[in-house]
Amino acid sequence: MCSGFPGSSPCLRSSYFGKQLIRSSSSSAAKYRAVRRARSQNEFFVKLSIVVEELDESLFWLEMLIFTEIVSETRLSDLMNEGYQLLKILSKARSSANSGS
């Protein structure tokens, strides 16, 4: 992934993007777990909103990896498609929860 000198700009970008992706994706998973333990409809909506935001951020970092040509679009396409599907499902659940409160 990083060619050239260890301190070169592409290495720093890939390291930074990778760390941000790990942070946002693991946060999405942990916060989704909290959604399942919500004590009220309002709490469910708020926690699910955070999950949607973190998942969207994860997709942003995947897009940045592609945009900066650190990883090819072909290599990430299945993961991105799955992420967008999850985003649609969770956004719909959030909308349903909001209309039900």
| Confidence class for position 2, pLDDT limits 50, 70, 90 | low
pLDDT by residue (tens digit) across 42-77? 999 999 999 999 999 999 999 999 999 999 999 999
Q: What integer is the mean pLDDT of 80-89? A: 96
Which has more confidence, 51 or 8? 51
DSSP string of 13-77, one letter each residue:
HHHHHHHHHHHHHHHHHHHHHHHTT-SSHHHHHHHHHHHHHHHHHHHHHHHHHHHTTSS-HHHHH
**C-alpha to C-alpha distance for 33 and 87, rounded to whole angstroms:** 16
| Confidence class for position 101, pLDDT limits 50, 70, 90 | low
| Confidence class for position 5, pLDDT limits 50, 70, 90 | very low
| Confidence class for position 99, pLDDT limits 50, 70, 90 | confident
**Confidence (pLDDT) at 14:** 87
